[in-house]
Chains A and B, each alone.
Chain A
Amino acid sequence: MTKRQKRLTLVVGVLAGLVIATALILNAFRDSMVFFVTPSEVMAMTELPERKFRIGGLVESGSVVRADDSAKVSFRVTDTARSVVVTYDGILPDLFREGQGVVAEGWIDTEGTFHADKVLARHDEEYMPAEAQAAIERAGHPPGAGQEY
């Protein structure tokens, strides 16, 4: 091979690698993208998504029910307009509180129960999960409405 051909081979090789890598990245991105949906949007769904998604809002006061013999727990997440029943098996985050913001990731069954495999709450006193705040705003309430709820 001449030097020119060699260099060409190298460039083509690197380009091919980059194309494969890009395809890999985009494919993985599409497969693991998790969309955010508000409780009102969940209740308005006509067909159930097969993929995981996130819901966010406030933990409805008085809705937290714990199992007696396991780590299972269920609660309702509301955007102040509609609410969704969420079940979770495990330890909830430290700052999970009734009446405060929460984000859950999981899937929904045909009964309309949301099975969370991840639950996120705020990190500190002031912070409200951005997604929970967005859910309340999308439900038609002004920003900050969650605080008084």
Chain B
Amino acid sequence: MIAELGNFALILAFCLAISQGVLPLVGARTGNERLMATGRSLAVGQLVFLAFSYAALTWAFVASDFSVEYVARNSNLALPTQYKVTAVWGGHEGSLLLWVLLLAAWGVAVAVFSKALPRKMLARVMGVLGIVSTGFLAFTVLTSNPFNRLARVPADGVDLNPLLQDPGMIAHPPLLYMGYVGMSVVFAFAIAALLSGRLDAAWARWSRPWTTVAWCFLTLGVGVGSWWAYYELGWGGWWFWDPVENASFMPWLTATALLHSLAVTEKRGGFKVWTVMLAILTFALTILGAFIVRSGVITSVHSFAADPDRGVFLLSMLAATLLGSLALYAWRAPRVGLGGGFGWYSRESLLLGNNVLLVVACAAVFVGTLYPLALDALGLSKISVGPPYFDAVFMPLMMPMLFLVGVGPLIAWKQADPVETSKQLRWVFLVSILIGIAWPFAMGLWKPLTALGLGLAAWILLTAAVDTRNRMMRRRSQGVGSMLGALRPSFLGMHLAHAGLALVVVAISMVNSYEVERDVRLAPGDTATAGGYEFTMLGVGGVRGPNYDADQATIEVTRNGKPVATLTPQRRYYDSQSDMPMHQASLHRRPTRDLYVSLGERLSGDAWLVRLYYKPYMFWMWVGGLMMAFGGFLAAADRRYRLARERSTVVAEERPAATGRSAGQEVG
């Protein structure tokens, strides 16, 4: 009964979404205030019904109602309760329900926080969100209904994929979907602006905090996914260039470009046409990502059961999005002015350079991901391009970008003086080079690429420090309080995010160059060394978990004879699929290195295969990712967006172009 109510609520939400996709837009077209105002209440209604629907599915999981097909496939009686709750998004149908729920939540958030938007603009934004929501709800209701009943009710369910029975998995999908879905809001703002023909600084100022927040969630989602893969997939890789990872990475790249392009649009009124294009592209890439993951064209830990209808539906949605928005774009974009001009050396030109690099990087990932899939689909040949391709393309694209990340924030809008910059930064440049040269020596082996990576990371960190210092010193005469006051959230957020990027670069350079990986055969009493640590096998014993049996090895780690840690990797056999063992790696984490042990299979006698890893600076990767996301949140919280919203009802016209350095300091 509850499941039927959930299904009913889902269908009602679908009907509301259709109305939301039509009425506010008609209202905005005809100037009908009452129709325009419907957007807000329809969004709230949609959220209420979807929340109910979602709660109903959760209830079906907690109560183990195996007459619901989706529950029977993704849960069983022995599943611990916290995983029953998270199993709701463990499969295709439920994760789609979470997706539409979050989309509705973003819609309500827009309705609540954008009271100061001109009514027509808000109506258009709500209307476009309604259309997006209609698309995804139609997909859910027509091809992937999570409430389908089974004619014959099984006594017990199958199980949640054991890989997903992990805390990392609780956080990964909701964060990622928050990011994906947030990009629909960005898209809605862009389309609304195109419809009204008013792509101005005010529009950029409205959509910028939304873009930033969506980007933060996307960053967290990608980061947590990588963190989860690192310890749960059991084999110590943190990024595989797997099509599914790429599916989330491509929109992240264009969203990062969009974030920076919006800065130019807001501050200088430039790049408008390009910014809108990036917003459309980012949204299209999130649908493409859904297609890659949900259509069954690839098989991986992420992919759900293949169903050709779903693939066709998502492809049609992608085609409709691209055709519709690009037609609108072609019609409207030529009328949009070019905005303020700028010199070849200015903050705009560097941001443009970084934008081009990010988009080209995205194109490279796109080719590497989809070309083999396309060849295979056409039956031409089976090829694969692995990490070597992506590494070969990414490295040369990212190096200049990292250099620009250091310079960009320090120089003036419109026209800067390269001589002045080089004077200002020559010491920083020198110190960065020294760090780049010296640090690899400290690690024991000098490699040019590592030196370049570490030098660039130092460059970003040091230039951020110089910029912060300069900004504070400008107010030296006004006291410490004023000096700290100069550090606005958007300014700090920007540098925090850039510093996070620098830490990630350090981690990647270090791990790629100095990681030690060994597969060894260990019997009790045997010792193997990796990265200067000795790993001694003490023995393997049986352990019982809530719904699995496990072989657990006890491995003592020492360094020069001194004890460091005792690691206990497991090989688990879940009751539901005991012939499919899962690894639980055991890690010892320290700021400058992780020790990582995975238990392989049993060999003859009491010897086991064991994988040992010494992974330098992995910790910096996760800290860096968190700093990037947190920096984004900080920037989005800047008071000027709230002020802008209060003011924008009065001054909705384009602000006069910012003048001189003082007005154009932060990119935030």
Which label, helix, strand, loop or mixed, suits the secondary structure of the A interface?
Answer: mixed
The answer to whether A42 has its CB under 8 Å from any CB of chain B is no
Residues of A contacting B360 with CB < 8 Å?
17-18, 21, 25
Q: A34 contacts B384, CB within 8 Å? A: yes
Residues of A contacting B368 with CB < 8 Å?
29
Residue of B301, B364, B611 contacting most chain A CB atoms (<10 Å): B364
Residues of A contacting B376 with CB < 8 Å?
130
A38 to B, closest residue via Cβ: B382
- Choose from A25, A69, A70, A95 the contact partner of B363 (Cβ within 8 Å): A25
Given contacts A18-B360, A25-B364, A127-B299, contact A9 B344 (CB under 8 A): yes
Q: B520 contacts A34, CB within 8 Å? A: no
> How many residue pairs bridge A and B at CB < 8 Å?
104
Q: B389 contacts A28, CB within 8 Å? A: yes
Residues of A contacting B519 with CB < 8 Å?
71, 89-91
Q: Which residues in chain B, 559-614, are within 8 Å of chain A measured between CB atoms?
A: 577, 580-583, 598, 600-601, 603-604, 609, 611
Known: A25-B360, A35-B383. 16 other contacts (CB 8 A): A6-B344, A21-B360, A21-B363, A21-B397, A25-B367, A25-B393, A28-B388, A28-B393, A32-B386, A33-B389, A35-B382, A54-B382, A71-B521, A71-B609, A91-B235, A134-B382
Residues of A contacting B601 with CB < 8 Å?
91-92
Q: B388 contacts A32, CB within 8 Å? A: yes
Q: Which residues in chain B, 135-164, are within 8 Å of chain A measured between CB atoms?
A: 161
Residues of A contacting B299 with CB < 8 Å?
123, 127, 129-130
Q: A28 contacts B580, CB within 8 Å? A: no
Interface 0/1 of B381-417, CB less than 8 Å to A: 1111110110011001100000000000000000000
Q: A32 contacts B382, CB within 8 Å? A: no
Q: How far does the Cβ of A114 sit from chain B's closest Cβ, in whole Å?
A: 16
Q: B577 contacts A24, CB within 8 Å? A: no
Q: B382 contacts A94, CB within 8 Å? A: no
Residues of A contacting B604 with CB < 8 Å?
66, 68
Q: A69 contacts B385, CB within 8 Å? A: no
Total count of chain A residues near the partner, CB < 8 A: 39
The answer to whether A31 has its CB under 8 Å from any CB of chain B is yes
The answer to whether B300 has its CB under 8 Å from any CB of chain A is yes
The answer to whether B486 has its CB under 8 Å from any CB of chain A is no
Q: B521 contacts A70, CB within 8 Å? A: yes
The answer to whether A81 has its CB under 8 Å from any CB of chain B is no
Q: How far is the CA of A71 from the CA of B598 in the complex (A)?
A: 14
Chain B positions near chain A (C-beta within 8 angstroms): 161, 235, 299-301, 341, 343-344, 349, 352, 356, 360, 363-364, 367-368, 371, 376, 381-386, 388-389, 392-393, 396-397, 519-521, 577, 580-583, 598, 600-601, 603-604, 609, 611
Q: A36 contacts B382, CB within 8 Å? A: yes
A21 to B, closest residue via Cβ: B360
Q: How far is the CA of A93 from the CA of B205 in the complex (A)?
A: 50
- Choose from B300, B381, B577, B603 the contact partner of A66 (Cβ within 8 Å): B603
The answer to whether A124 has its CB under 8 Å from any CB of chain B is yes
The answer to whether A98 has its CB under 8 Å from any CB of chain B is no
Residues of B contacting A111 with CB < 8 Å?
none
The answer to whether A10 has its CB under 8 Å from any CB of chain B is yes
Residues of A contacting B598 with CB < 8 Å?
91
Residues of B contacting A6 with CB < 8 Å?
343-344
Q: A29 contacts B301, CB within 8 Å? A: no
Q: How far does the Cβ of B471 sit from chain A's closest Cβ, in whole Å?
A: 30
Q: A94 contacts B581, CB within 8 Å? A: yes
B393 to A, closest residue via Cβ: A28
Chain A positions near chain B (C-beta within 8 angstroms): 3, 6, 9-10, 14, 17-18, 21, 24-25, 28-29, 31-36, 54, 66, 68-71, 89-92, 94-95, 105, 123-125, 127, 129-131, 134
A35 to B, closest residue via Cβ: B383
Residue of B371, B376, B389, B581 contacting most chain A CB atoms (<10 Å): B389
Q: B356 contacts A36, CB within 8 Å? A: no
Q: B382 contacts A125, CB within 8 Å? A: no
* Closest CB pairs A-B (n = 9): A36-B382, A32-B389, A28-B392, A91-B600, A32-B388, A71-B519, A90-B519, A21-B360, A28-B393
Residues of B contacting A33 with CB < 8 Å?
383-385, 389
Q: How far does the Cβ of A74 sit from chain B's closest Cβ, in whole Å?
A: 14
Q: List 25 A-B contacts (CB under 8 A).
A: A6-B344, A9-B344, A17-B360, A24-B392, A24-B393, A24-B396, A25-B364, A31-B389, A32-B392, A33-B385, A34-B386, A35-B381, A35-B383, A36-B381, A36-B382, A54-B384, A70-B521, A71-B519, A71-B609, A92-B600, A105-B386, A123-B300, A124-B161, A125-B580, A129-B299
Residues of B contacting A134 with CB < 8 Å?
382
Given contacts A9-B344, A25-B363, A94-B580, contact A31 B600 (CB under 8 A): no
Q: How far is the CA of A44 from the CA of B600 in the complex (A)?
A: 35
Q: B582 contacts A94, CB within 8 Å? A: yes
Residues of B contacting A32 with CB < 8 Å?
385-386, 388-389, 392
Q: A124 contacts B580, CB within 8 Å? A: yes
Q: B356 contacts A14, CB within 8 Å? A: yes
- Choose from B352, B385, B581, B609 the contact partner of A34 (Cβ within 8 Å): B385
Q: A36 contacts B577, CB within 8 Å? A: no
Residues of B contacting A105 with CB < 8 Å?
384, 386
B397 to A, closest residue via Cβ: A21
Residues of A contacting B603 with CB < 8 Å?
66
A127 to B, closest residue via Cβ: B299
A95 to B, closest residue via Cβ: B580
Q: How far is the CA of A68 from the CA of B609 in the complex (A)?
A: 11
Q: B609 contacts A29, CB within 8 Å? A: no
Q: B385 contacts A123, CB within 8 Å? A: no
Q: How far is the CA of A134 from the CA of B381 in the complex (A)?
A: 11
Q: How far is the CA of A69 from the CA of B235 in the complex (A)?
A: 22
B598 to A, closest residue via Cβ: A91
